[in-house]
Chains A and B, each alone.
Chain A
Amino acid sequence: MRDAVDYISRHRVAAVVLFLIAFPWLMPYEALAINILIFGLFAVGFNLLFGYTGMLSFGHAAFLGSGSYFAGMAVVHGSWPWYAAIAAGTLGATAIGLLMGLLAIRARGIYFSMVTLALAQCVYYIFYQADRWTGGENGLRGVKVSAIKLFGVELNFVDPLTKYYIVLAFVALALWFVSRVLASPFGAVIETVRENERRSAACGYDVARTKLVVFVLSAAICGLAGTLRALHLSVVPIDSLHYLTSGHAVMMCLLGGMGTFFGPFVGAAVFLYLEDVVTTWTKHWMLVVGTVFIVFVLFFPRGIWGSILHWVRRGDA
């Protein structure tokens, strides 16, 4: 059992992608599965900063949202092709991440969290007020991508299953990238910053620069998730930028397992699937979510995936 898990851990991206290829057959409808892909990626991007580097940001909605908006505006106002829109969205979110990071990195602990919250709310208001471009409170509508031409083959993006696999292709790429980063020497430095900043600096690592790089990478991943969301829903709702969306990232990471590669994805899947299912039985979804969350914080702080990994590996030193 442990050997199997170790094998999977070493080929974790392939394992995850294989699972995700079969995934739509497990879900009641593809739109939910696509939402899980998108928010899974969002949570993975967030986790890079939170679980691995130990920095709790309350402003990550700014990256998801701006990624959505830049991609959406490229399609709606510029009539850009889909791949240019995705690039625009990701780059735009990365730029905002760089700006926010430069300002936020100097603060520590709860102050860092609050600065990210404040800056993200500023981003929210700017997009809200620029309603000629963004649609303001009504959101940006008409992000229409119907046909995607790839290597001479025309794919129907409106068909749910086709849309799922196209989105999966991007998510898989991003996951591979994250995995490479985490497995690299840089990935090790990230974790030292989480464990003990002072000691890391004493070892000669540029802590501030490390933090900034992770912040920007995290923003880029979340921005990509945002671009995919815009294309999927064909609208960009204004609350993509709101701090409540940032809160969802935190919840999904905790539920799934912070500091693990696949954990946030599991967290996103469980969160969204439960929400879909539970809301058909009861209006009081928030009560369920809150209670589950409290239970996890008290008894399963490693999250679902983290607990599974820990249980499987518990024989190790």
Chain B
Amino acid sequence: MGEITLNLLLLQTIAGVALGAIFVLLAIGLSLIFGMLGVVNFAHGAFFMLGAYAGVYFYGLTGNFWFSLLLVPLTVGAVGLAVERVLVRPLYGRGLDYPLLLTFGLSYVLVEAIRIQFGVEGYQMGTPAALRGAVDIGIGHFPTYRLFLIGATAAIVLALWLFIEKTRFGLIIRAGAQDPEIVRILGIDIGRVWLLVFALGIAIAGLSGILAAPTRAVTPEMGIPVLVESFVVTVVGGMGSLAGAVVAGLLVGIVYSLTSLFAPEMAEMSIFVLMALVLLVRPQGLFGRTGVFG
């Protein structure tokens, strides 16, 4: 078994935080879309995958990681715009299940489309030169890129929070999540708000895809397990809650990482056990309530 030193525990926890960072971003997107539109987006993992592929494509094209980091959420977000307009909008008012089912079918289409366009083998995205290698963080060596990942996620979450709390559009979003009727009465086109929120959620999913790409293989199926994991995180945090997404994302990442240390075969199951436990004690999730960003 080897010794479990404090150093190792700390290192493992930090690995968990880096893992959790991707969960946080995905859960934020899912929560935004559910909290605002009431749509359970089963294609979220597919958009994550799309972002990773877009990242490989742009990085290969421009050779500049930072530029690609900017382009990916824009392009994937644009796809999100189209999807909301054409496919999701007709289903509003029909009940919770229909958009869910639609996005379910959409995920199949997206995965196969990528297979057709890019092949089944998948790609390896090289880590950008500036972020390569490992850093001695005192308790051991940790890959530089994963530290960057933690930092990038923190920055994105902060930016999002500022946007929601401090801007006018953010105010509309918060209001619309609480009471769409009133917002409509006040003369704001709630449909347009929904369109933009959906696209924003999708864009964040795409961004998390390119951020994750250097840490794993970019394959058409990469979004499938990620989807289930993101749902676990979102539900544990409470669907529709930004704070919940952040807390739950980090929690799930750390639980997974620490379980891997003590009982690695149980690692995947541990997050489901966590979810089952949370839901039994608090069926609406840790921070769950009907509004956004509680």
| Chain A residues near B (Cβ < 8 Å) | 56, 103, 106-111, 114-115, 117-119, 121-122, 125, 129, 243, 247, 250-251, 254, 284, 286-287, 289-294, 297-298, 301
Identify which of residues 260-294 in chain B touch chain A, using a CB-to-CB cut-off of 8 Å. Answer: 265-266, 268-269, 272-273, 275-276, 279-280, 283-285
Closest Cβ of chain A to B288, distance in Å, is 8
| Chain B residues near A (Cβ < 8 Å) | 34, 40, 87, 90-91, 94, 96-98, 100-102, 104-113, 115-116, 228, 231-232, 235, 239, 265-266, 268-269, 272-273, 275-276, 279-280, 283-285
Given A111-B284, A118-B276, A125-B269, the answer on whether A297 and B105 have CB atoms closer than 8 Å is yes
A selection of 7 A-B contacts at a CB cut-off of 8 Å is A103-B280, A125-B266, A243-B228, A250-B104, A294-B102, A294-B109, A298-B87
Given A122-B273, A294-B105, the answer on whether A287 and B98 have CB atoms closer than 8 Å is no
Given A103-B276, A114-B275, the answer on whether A129 and B265 have CB atoms closer than 8 Å is yes
Alpha-carbon distance between A115 and B284 when the two chains are bound, in angstroms: 11
Alpha-carbon distance between A247 and B231 when the two chains are bound, in angstroms: 15
A-B contact count (CB 8 A): 105
What residues of chain A lie closer than 8 Å to B231, measured between beta carbons? Answer: 114, 117
Q: Which residue of B lies closest to A108 (CB)?
A: B283
Alpha-carbon distance between A49 and B99 when the two chains are bound, in angstroms: 19
| Of A103, A107, A121, A250, the contact of B269 (CB 8 Å cutoff) | A121
Alpha-carbon distance between A66 and B205 when the two chains are bound, in angstroms: 35
| Of B98, B100, B112, B268, the contact of A125 (CB 8 Å cutoff) | B268
Alpha-carbon distance between A195 and B232 when the two chains are bound, in angstroms: 28
Contact status A297-B112, CB under 8 Å: no
Contact status A284-B269, CB under 8 Å: no
Alpha-carbon distance between A251 and B96 when the two chains are bound, in angstroms: 16
Contact status B87-A114, CB under 8 Å: no
What residues of chain A lie closer than 8 Å to B110, measured between beta carbons? Answer: 290
Given A117-B231, A243-B228, A284-B115, the answer on whether A122 and B106 have CB atoms closer than 8 Å is no
Alpha-carbon distance between A117 and B276 when the two chains are bound, in angstroms: 9
Contact status A114-B108, CB under 8 Å: no
Alpha-carbon distance between A67 and B179 when the two chains are bound, in angstroms: 46
Contact status B107-A107, CB under 8 Å: no
Alpha-carbon distance between A247 and B280 when the two chains are bound, in angstroms: 24
What residues of chain A lie closer than 8 Å to B109, measured between beta carbons? Answer: 286-287, 290-291, 294
Alpha-carbon distance between A81 and B280 when the two chains are bound, in angstroms: 40
Contact status B275-A118, CB under 8 Å: yes
From A106, A108, A254, A290, residue with most partner B Cβ within 10 Å: A290
Contact status A291-B105, CB under 8 Å: yes
